[in-house]
Structure 1
Amino acid sequence: MAQGTLLYAQSGGVTAVINATASAVITEARARKIKVLAARNGILGALREELIDTSKESAAAIRALAHTPGGAFGSCRVKLKSLEADRARYERLLAVLKAHDVRWFLYNGGNDSADTALKVSQLAQAFGYPLTCIGVPKTVDNDLAVTDTCPGFGSAAKYTAVSVREAALDVAAMAETSTKVFVYEAMGRHAGWLAAAAGLAGASPDDAPQIILFPERAYDEAAFLAQVKKVVDKVGWCVVVASEGIQHADGRFVADAGGGKDSFGHTQLGGVASYLAGRVKDQLGLKVHWTLPDYLQRSARHIASKTDWEQAQAVGKAAVQLALKGQNAVMPVIVRNSDVPYRWKIEAAPLTKVANHEKKMPANFLRKDGYGITAAARAYLEPLIRGEAYPPFGRDGLPKYVTLKNVAVAAKLPKWEE
């Protein structure tokens, strides 16, 4: 039996299925008699030595975790800088790992998390500490390099496509005497994957969403307003899906709120749907409604994609297997073997090929007019939203989700001070 402890942490924005990954990690480790600690609130918990003993949770609770949204142990938006600039933090992290005999570190997150896992592995090697670091993929933005898709995206994509289709039926029913234009804001700062997923809601150019605005294409207000008018004149109403990260030709975000930067250095965006709705109303005189689903996109476990749910568990299980084999500084990624039938597998990819790389949509996924998706995009996206992985529902009509006990382990080091 392998000796040592495994530390698992969640990072960044959570998803509808990140806990399914956590459940798979704990289940696989238990099967191999490996103790699993979880960091409370991601990397912050590791730095503060606020660690959770998952062995205190029942098998039933860990199984229920697989259908519970959110982040069971807490997550955070904290980005560690370079080893040189943030050396004190990295050395503190290594001290905590040593104190609890952590030999395997699994960091479940996006691009910045992959970069952190890579740096921690490098630091451990420099100090001669036997530590295997694995980056575990997660993000609704679907922008991680190498992997075909990111666990979390498929469910957010399904929620987006379903919501747009349902809202379109509402708009169509009321268009004669009420709303003519509906604007839906999708997550996606630099890559328009979720906005593209909305395109699955319709089959023809006249089906909603008739207009999709991607961050990969510069926003041209005059052209946009002309397209809205053209659609309304032809169809009688129009549904617009806009990625939050659409930009003017000079690179300015359309929805730049002027609020500075977040902890990851990202510009604070301020609601592109409300802005576009205002411009349509003012310039075209049409009645407009808009929505900002925001967290709903990534927390909608009730309509999760079965494909996504299965892949989230697969990367968790594979992460443990790779760690125990000593495959350091790698990430279990999803490899697509075929579209029809849809087939996929898990392989290990070096973190050096994932960290600090961003996957944007291929040019051939965008329609020539820039307002919709192509058949190639549909072939890629459709399998990712297939199937339903409904949670169990109670007599009260609500999903039955689990809240873990999250029993803390005793600290062994002095309190950490920034």
Structure 2
Amino acid sequence: MARRSKGNVVVLQSGGPTPVINQSLTGFVREALDQGSFGTIYGAVHGMDGLLERRFIDLGRQPRRLWPSIARAPGAALGSARRKLGPGEIGEALDVLKQTEVRFLISIGGNDSAENAHLLAEAASARHHPLTVVAVPKTVDNDLPETDHCPGYGSAARFIALATMGAGRDAEALRRSVPVTVLEVMGRNAGWLPVAAALGKRDERDAPHLILTPETEVDENRVVSMADEAVRRWGFAVVVVSENLKGPDGPLGAAAEPEHVDEFGHAYHASPGRYLASLLTRHFKARVRLESPNAIQRSFPTCVSSTDAAEAYLAGQAAARYALAGHTDCMVTLVREPDAPYRCGTGLAPLEAVAGKERLLPPAFVTDESGLPSPEFHRYAMPLIGAPLPRLGRLRGT
């Protein structure tokens, strides 16, 4: 006998996609279908925009054979958006949910998505509207509090580690003409991704030689000095920099006004990597290469960590179970078990503790002024990136 429906559910994806965000979507939909307790499983096309515009598709009617390929796809299968709900839009969103008989909302996203989800949960409670809200974490920045790590980070960290290994060997080969390479990576205000660049570093000669993170104010003279030292020792230097860096007077090398400010108040300044590349070009009087993979680092399908993919799927499954159990205004978390070998389960955190907040890179995860990660960071991050990174050999005497 079919189970009685507890109500319709809508799932949305928002913010920057990750290589595994569709694993969470697939995990949720498959678990929801297996549970058989939801009514229609709606997907909001382009996140909160789609919800307000009533652009829904029926995920339960998608061919089952399609889901494995959806799970493997980068980007957001439903489409994404960056939209901060205004006071008037909160009520409008609740009206849409009421009219479509939605009693469950699943939001797959990061800090800002958690803020929207929390606002909806609070407003629904104040209106005595029966709405269960569960967030599923996703961000390559790894900056969500309350969770050991975030789905999406392991795959992006793997990409950055491999890209740094490759860029390092390219820089080493061309060291006579291009002595310095600057690699700018994502991460917003946290250094989790930049320090992952060193996960493939096996000796002092290997890249990177200097890592600059948002948590530490940049001293331009020190950057030049440390790059100079690496070039003297090895003939080349690879400097990894975050997309957001601060100098003594604010954003590094940026004009006072940002180039763009989004709806959540995040300021986007000119590239610190470009600024530092120009600085180092003047110092070395030689070409300095700037590498900025941008969205490629969160969308490269062959660099997906198997661990990351499995945990993203697990988080989606857990969201379905927690929602049906009556948990609301909360986010699924990844909980690392304390004993080796590495294992991870799920838990819950109140959205109030996550919404609009950031978790920065702990000082203990960095060794010294070089910005290279500590053994503690290696123990934390290596299980998250999946299969071991390749070993790259060198000819003797080169």
CA drift of 1:263 comes to: 2.6
1:389-408 → structure 2 map (5 Å cutoff): none
User: CA 1:333 to 1:149, structure 2 compared with 1: closer, same or farther past 3 Å?
Assistant: same
Q: What's the TM-score, normalizing by structure 2? A: 0.93
Structure 1 range deviating more: 39-48 or 350-359: 350-359
State how far apart, in whole Å, the 1-side matches of 2:83 and 2:150 are: 20
Structure 2 counterpart of 1:235, one-letter code: W
Deviations 1:65-95 (A, max 9, x none): 1111111111001112xxxxx3321111011
* 1:142–1:153 Cα contact (<8 Å) kept: yes
Q: Report the Cα distance in structure 1 between the residues aligned to 2:318 and 2:253, rounded to whole angstroms.
A: 40
Distance 1:357 1:299 in 2: 25
Q: Say how many residue pairs are matched.
A: 382
Quote the residue 1:73 is aligned against: 78
Structure-1 separation of matches of 2:133 and 2:42: 14
Contact kept, 8 Å, 1:271 with 1:292, in 2: the verdict is no
> Contact 2:224–2:280 at 8 Å: present in 1 too?
yes
Deviates more, 1:283-292 or 1:257-266: 257-266
Q: Separation in 2 of the partners of 1:252 and 1:224?
A: 16
Task: Give, in angstroms, the shift of residue 261 of structure 1.
Answer: 1.2
Local SS of the residue matching 1:338: coil
Q: Which of 4, 7, 10 is the aligned partner of 2:7?
A: 4
Deviations 1:196-252 (A, max 9, x none): 100112033432101111111101101110110011001111111000111102333
Note the residue ranges of structure 2 that are not aligned, 5 or more in a row. 389-398
Structure 2 counterpart of 1:202, one-letter code: K
Q: Residue 54 of structure 2 is aligned with which of 39, 49, 53?
A: 49
Structure 1 stretches lacking a partner, 5+ long: 81-85, 389-418
User: Structure 1 residue 109: deviation in Å?
Assistant: 0.5
AA aligned to 2:294 is D
SS at match of 1:66: helix
Deviations along 1:233-292, whole A, 9 cap, x unmatched?
011111110001111023334456742412321112222222211111112223311111
Match of 1:400 in 2: none
CA distance in 1, matches of 2:94, 2:384: 38
Percentage identity across paired residues of the two chains: 37
- Mean CA deviation greater in 351-360 or 160-169: 351-360
Question: Does the aligned pair in 2 maintain the 1:201–1:209 contact within 8 Å?
Answer: no
AA matched with 1:103: R
Contact 2:180/2:288 (<8 A) preserved: yes
CA contact (8 A) 1:189 1:246 kept: no
Letter in 2 for 1:185: E
- Tell me the CA shift for residue 25 of structure 1: 0.9
Match of 1:375 in 2: 375
2-structure distance, mates of 1:352, 1:258? 29
Q: Distance between the aligned counterparts of 1:253 and 1:230, measured in 2?
A: 22
TM-score, length basis structure 1: 0.88
Distance across 2 between alignment mates of 1:329 and 1:253:
38
Conserved 8 A contact 1:337-1:343 = yes
Q: 1:225, 1:284 within 8 Å by CA — same for their partners in 2?
A: no
Q: 1:277, 1:291 → 2: CA distance?
A: 10
Hey, what does 1:30 align to over in structure 2?
Answer: 33
2:50 aligned partner, one-letter code? G
Contact persistence 1:26–1:62 (CA under 8 A): no
